[in-house]
A and B are shown apart, each in its own frame.
Chain A
Amino acid sequence: MGPILLLTLIIFLPTIGAIALLAVPKDNDEYLRIGALGVTVVTFVLTLFLLGDFNTDDPAIQPVFEVIQVDGATEPPDLKLLANYDLSEGKVMRDGQEVQVQRGITIPWIRTWNIEYKLGYDGISVPLLLLTSFISVLAMMASWSIKKMVRGYLILFLLLETGMLGVFLALDFFLFYVFWEVMLLPMYFLIGIWGGPRKEYAAIKFFLYTLLGSVLMLIAMLMFYFGSAAHSDQTSTFDLLELAVIAQNGLFDQQMQMIAFVLLFIGFAIKVPTFPFHTWLPDAHVEAPTPISMILAGVLLKMGGYGILRIAFPLCPFGAHWAAYTLVVIGAFSIIYGAFAAMAQTDFKRLVAYSSVSHMGYVIVGMAVWKLSVDTNALHHWQLGINGAMFQMIAHGVSSAGMFFIVGVIYDRVHHRDLNQFGGLSKLMPWYSGLAAGIFFAGLGLPGMCGFIGEIFVTLSAWNYSPLLAIIVAAGVILTAGYILWTIQRVFLGPEYRGPHAEEITPMNGREFTVAAVLLAFAIILGVYPPIMFDLMGGSIELLTETLQQGLENATDATSTAGLPGN
């Protein structure tokens, strides 16, 4: 399968599936569910193909095409997929010869504005693509609990998946924006129709918050579009790779970078979410149905982090460096604030939601600890931080999806989430409690489980940046242990169940067991052998840090040499 077809299928297969579901009669719930599950599974398999194609030795965007110049032709040159190549000093070599290449798929879309259908992947997006398709399968398996308007639900779910995968594959800013918005609407309806008692409130809150972020992003996008004209063959472009090269050469002026970074960061920070843009999250989670909470926590929050790494940082290195301290402060504060807020919750799901705020704080901290290492003048500690942050995103995707699922399982039975009205579940639902304890320990950051690696690597990287903030970040471990253990005690331990509907408590069924067990298994695999992720993303992150540092230096030089373009 050619990369164009593969990438397009990965994005649009869920849409095709959604259209196909329309053909199935409305009341065949079971067939509809199985069909939708099949679509997500196939999508997951396709992302595995993508993983197979992914060359971990090449840190830059893939797939790579060789550009074959036909003599005298004015038409765009032919492209041929390049399978075997070596890299030498960033140049693509084949048999010792440098080859001219084009990275990523580029198909003109709206020529008037130079908008392209540009897709591609690297070590930063591949893990997230895998996470997305993986969590989608599990969330779909968890969707059996949805009984109302099943077909509509499934169609929206699949459209949502298209939006998410598109965001992680798009390399054209406009295309990225389109997918970003595509994702928003299904989410709005999924919360607003299938949600809990205050679903309308939560859906609107979610929508408005995210829309605000989108608007800010739109402004920044246009800034770059029009700002790029001067540096890109006199044509404006939305191409993220080209924009990043311009930024790397320090050609976007400092003020613009600072403004654009603030706009982009707020846009993405809302999605992450970090303090103080986080209050949509608890409401959205509490009201959303279980599988949607899983998607929301497992994938949607990662888009904020991804956006920062893919867009905000590469396009404004100077701005990012300028704001780095604020970012670390925001991240550190989110960690502590989220943990404190989680501790005071009495609603099980709200607690898990606040734990997300706390855990995602590590992501921001890890990304922003931009400082040369003591003595070695290398960027190793920052690389440690970004790797930790990326790992934390994957780990949080697994553990928080698991935690929301765990909450959902018990909610489906007893129809309440009051932490003070549980207890004794370990006796009534032994397997459930065992798996739940495992997943909660993963969230607590226990070594040998996924949460540990991300948190600890970010924490370790932080001292090099700022000892004070590092200490604040490290203090998070105490609070996290506090609220998670307290929750386990109140829900699973104790002599008896204290809430209503005690007679409804039945052991997990096979489907529920599978979802929880798979999540726990991955939490352990990632925790015991993290290289499976670091090997994928390490190279790309190293490249990213180096280009950013270059971009920063060029942007700084540009002013010192009175506006002359650097390098």
Chain B
Amino acid sequence: MSSETLTIEEFQEIGKALRFLLMVAWLLPLAGFAVEIFAGYWGHRRSKMASFLAVGCIFIGFACSLGALIHWGTLTRWGHKTVAESQHHEGKSEGEGQTGILDAGKLPVEFVALADKPTAHKDADNDDHHTTSGGGHKDAHHEGEHHDDHHGPGTPAFSGGFYLLGSFGDIEIGLDYYIDSLTLIMFTMVTLIATCIHIFAIGYMSDELVEDYVDHHAHTSDGKHVHRPGRFYRFFAFMSLFCFSMLGLVLAGNIFQVFVFWELVGICSYLLIGFYTERKSASTAANKAFIMNRVGDFGFLIGLMVIVTYLGTFRFADHEVNGAAQPGLFTMIRGADGHIDLDQTVDVETGNDVNVVLLKGVDGETLTNANGKNRTIPYWLLIVAGLGVFGGCVGKSAQFPLQTWLPDAMEGPTPVSALVHSATMVAAGVYLAGRFFPMFTTEVLLTIAYIGCITLFVAATIAVVATDIKRVLAYSTISQLGYMMLAIGIGGWGAGLFHLVTHAFFKSLMFLASGSVIIGCHHEQEMPRMGGLWRKMPITAFTMLVGVIAISGLAIPGISIFGEKIAFSGYHSKDEIVATALAFMQMNEQHFLLFLVPLITAGITAFYMFRLWFYTFAGEPRDAELHSHVHETPWVMTTPLIILAVFAAGCAIGGTHGPLWLGLLNSEPIGLATGLTGQLSGIATPSHDAVHAVHSTAGMYALIVAATGAFVAYLLYGAGVIDPGDIKQQFVSLHTFLVEKWRFDELYDAMFVRPVHIVASWCVGVDRYVFDGLIHRTARTTIDVSRWDRKFDEGIIDGLVNLVGNAVFSAGRSLRVVQTGSLRQYIMFIAVGVLVLFVLLFAVFPS
């Protein structure tokens, strides 16, 4: 296998090149932002310079990302080459030194032994039931076994640091990078979609290219429309800032850095949702989005706190701290075959009965603490950490119960909805769940699966009754994100991220198409006023149809051209999810809902998406006046649609044998290929083989359901055989319930918003009446005391003094009579006085 290996030097060379290319792609949009926001509008509001700059930055970013992907692919034979095994072991001991020598003075391009751990074939899952009370249990039997040929051993990830934010003893917090095939694919996907959307936005936002923009949705108090200068440049500045933040999130090499960019994409989302600052609804939606995300981030923070307390590092990959090797998070938690090393002896000090032993490296050596004992983290805290970080994902990916902000976020301009609120930022939650997968215990995974399951169903039901074209897509996004979460939760790591990428293409396509419709219809978003638009907007209509077919997962069964199924991307990815769910259900029968709900929802999905298409584009125009003004949008908007339509149709080409799937699988966490089993929960995830076995069955179920959904939609909205109004009449209360979005907003308002305001007013009351009241009372008492004091002074002390004074005075006055002015008399007084004194003296002191 010598041709299948890379030397460490070659490996590091690749790492340096990738680091450089991705850094360019990452930082260019930031530079773009700085210029766009400060240089403003180049003298007049009609300048398109900002948009050209933004497009240029993101397009170069795309070129770099694609270059990086190809560079990586060709040099590692798409991840099939691994670092030479013999050198690798040196690499762990001496390789550190080598790294240092090679990159003397620079940040070392370290390598991670995460993905290159030998994927051992196990005939039984007994390895996962391994329960030990210490390290060193994993003998040679894991090593030297042959690799799983199905997806190869995988090239290890490239990782290293940019700079440190701070270091406190052994705790280092900094900005790092972590590059594997998932990073590269995400970079390419994000930059490609962002480029298309930026170009589209030049057309979409062109009405901002005026000195005096009239906002028809914002009114002053006298009922007039708001007039303001156009803000074309600001839109592109924010978009550039968003791209920077999003790429930073993907590139992040530690979980803290993910959090940093997590918040930054959040604020970009805030700025873009609230782009029309004059509209109260827009700024409220922006606030809602940010605050609900912060609720999720509160969980994220708890996860971070647990991690820094027990694991002492945030980095994913192995690295060095103060000259000593420090394993990364993944290495510490997951052993060579992906299992978690448990210690079930009761810890006398902490009282925890199950602890996770932290590992030092692939060979199963454990970390020891200052007392020489194994370093551990209580198992329940590992669950807390996982749930906490997942809490962040729930917020960002608009999962139940924090899903309500995303539909409101549609207040932003449509390109924002396409980029931020469907393709990239909201998918970041799924990305993180994927990236952080090795840290999740099976209990956490099951939670993720159920959250995803609830979300995908709730959102899909609401999408059925929504009439605003963008809101349908928003609910559809939430529902699809639920699918991805579900997939990750049931161990379908590849399926979830596969769906992330395909969904990004077809959903951004559909959002842009809806944006095209909105522009074509002069800012009308209500589908009941549309209908029959395909004649006027053919390109929009057909590209949208591509997206609709893709998301519905339709395919033509039985026929294949060149060995390829005739199916769009969504078919492949959704198929994979359903297949994983079926395999999962077979292994864990009590969790059958995790298969049934997504299967049924696949039908609902097809229904509401075709409903949208038929409602909008097919049939007769329902509003003739509107229809007469409709026009196809200019090329600057349709070209991106066509490009995205190509990718929406074909990005998953080859399905589970295609490049996208295999590329993603290259980064799959260790142990998933053979399935993981929770040692305490008993939940098992299906192995690749198990999924593969049920693939065609699941695919058939999914296709039947989807086709049914699409057919019903055709009957109701396309052919008009049944009047949807009748059905609405039949289920009027259910319809209202769905239109009111399951009443989550009312519930949260009553549960959280109002109580917060009440507590806030209490706090103010406490300050005003308790503390200040106390102080004022003290002050008044003091004043009273001083008043008494004054009275005492004036009445008693002064009275006494006056008394004495008066007495002296009157004595003096009575003595006045003796003051005669006669000298003789005075001398006589003196003489008598002296005499008396002497007499007294002798009388008192006789001796």
- Residues of A near any B CB (own CB < 8 A): 205, 276, 278-279, 282, 337, 340-345, 373-381, 383-384, 387, 424, 426-427, 441, 446-448, 452-453, 456-457, 459-460, 462-464, 467, 470-471, 474-475, 477-479, 481-482, 485-486, 489, 492-496, 498, 529-531, 534, 538, 542
| A482, B291: Cβ atoms closer than 8 Å | yes
Q: In the complex, what residues of A have CB within 8 A of residue B290's CB?
A: 481, 485
- The answer to whether A446 and B166 touch across the interface, beta carbons within 8 angstroms, is no
Q: A276-B771, A344-B760 are in contact. List 10 more A-B contacts (CB 8 A).
A: A279-B772, A374-B309, A376-B170, A384-B171, A453-B165, A464-B309, A474-B298, A479-B756, A482-B291, A534-B167
CB-CB under 8 A from B220, the residues of chain A are 495-496
A477 near B370 with CB under 8 A, answer no
Residues of chain A contacted by B761 (CB below 8 angstroms): 344
Selected A-B contacts with CB under 8 Å, 10 pairs: A378-B169, A380-B312, A446-B263, A447-B263, A452-B260, A460-B304, A470-B302, A485-B286, A494-B283, A538-B168
Q: By the criterion CB–CB under 8 Å, are A447 and B259 in contact?
A: yes
- The interface residues of chain B lying within 8 Å CB-to-CB of A482 are 291, 756
B residues whose Cβ falls under 8 Å from a Cβ of A? 163-171, 173, 218-221, 226, 228, 259-261, 263-264, 267, 270, 274, 277-280, 283-284, 286-287, 290-291, 294-295, 297-298, 301-302, 304-306, 308-310, 312, 369-371, 375-376, 756-757, 759-764, 767, 771-772, 775
> Given A447-B263, A495-B220, do A340 and B771 touch, yes or no (CB 8 Å)?
no
Closest to A533 in B: B166
Interface contact A376-B264, CB-CB below 8 Å:
no
Find chain A residues with CB under 8 A from B763 CB.
337, 340-341, 344
Minimum CB–CB distance from B411 to chain A (whole Å) comes to 12
Closest A residue, CB atoms, query B217: A495
Can you name the residue of chain A whose Cβ is closest to the Cβ of B310? A374
- Which applies to chain A's interface (DSSP): helix, strand, loop or mixed? helix
Q: Is the interface of B mostly helix, strand, loop or mixed?
A: helix
Q: For the complex, what is the distance from the CA of A486 to the CA of B290, rounded to whole Å?
A: 11
* A282 neighbours in B (Cβ, 8 Å): 767
A486 close to B287 (CB less than 8 A): yes
Contact present for A341 and B218 (CB under 8 Å): no
Shortest 10 CB-CB distances between A and B: which pairs?
A: A380-B169, A463-B305, A344-B760, A375-B369, A447-B260, A377-B370, A343-B760, A341-B763, A340-B763, A474-B301
Contact A341 B771 (CB under 8 A): no
B775 near A279 with CB under 8 A, answer yes
- Given A343-B757, A375-B370, A377-B369, the answer on whether A383 and B168 have CB atoms closer than 8 Å is yes
Q: How many angstroms between the C-alpha atoms of A278 and B166 in the bound complex?
A: 31
Distance in angstroms between the alpha carbons of A364 and B170 in the assembled complex: 23
A378: which B residues are within 8 A, CB to CB?
169-170, 370
Chain A residue nearest to B165 (CB atoms) is A530
User: Is B221's CB under 8 angstroms from A531's CB?
Assistant: no
B295 surroundings in chain A (CB, below 8 A): 478
- Say yes or no: A341 contacts B767, CB within 8 Å: yes
Nearest Cβ distance between residue B388 and chain A, in whole angstroms? 9
Interface centre among B218, B221, B756 (most CB of A within 10 A): B756
A452 to B278, alpha carbons, bound, how many Å?
Answer: 29
Q: Are A340 and B760 in contact (CB under 8 A)?
A: yes
Which B residues touch A485, using CB under 8 A?
270, 286-287, 290-291
- For residue A217, give the distance in angstroms from its CB to the closest CB of chain B: 20
User: Contacting A381 at CB < 8 Å: which of B163, B171, B221, B762?
Assistant: B171
The CA of A470 and the CA of B168, in the complex, are separated in Å by: 19
Q: How far is the CB of B282 from chain A (nearest CB, A)?
A: 8
CB proximity of B379 to chain A, nearest CB, Å? 15
* Chain A residues whose CB sits within 8 angstroms of the CB of B171 once the complex forms: 380-381, 384
Q: Give the residues in chain A near B168, CB-CB below 8 Å.
A: 380-381, 383-384, 387, 538
Minimal beta-carbon separation of B381 from chain A (angstroms): 9
Q: How far does the Cβ of A458 sit from chain B's closest Cβ, in whole Å?
A: 11
B761 to chain A: closest residue by CB: A344
- The residue in chain A whose Cβ has the minimal distance to the Cβ of B778 is A208
By the criterion CB–CB under 8 Å, are B283 and A493 in contact? yes
Residues in B neighbouring A486, C-beta threshold 8 A: 287
Distance (whole angstroms) from the CB of A412 to the closest CB of chain B:
23
In the complex, what residue of chain A is closest to B215 when comparing beta carbons? A495
> In the complex, which residues of chain A have a beta carbon less than 8 angstroms from the beta carbon of B306?
463
In the assembled complex, the Cα of A463 lies from the Cα of B756 at a distance in Å of: 25
A498 contacts across to B, CB distance below 8 A: 221
Q: Please measure, in the bound complex, the distance between the C-alpha atom of A394 and the C-alpha atom of B171, giving whole angstroms.
A: 22
Are A441 and B169 closer than 8 Å at their CB atoms? no
Chain B residue with the shortest CB-CB distance to A462? B305
Closest CB in chain B relative to A383 CB, distance in Å: 4
Question: Given the known A-B contacts A279-B767, A341-B760, A448-B264, are A383 and B283 also in contact in the complex, defined by CB atoms under 8 Å?
Answer: no
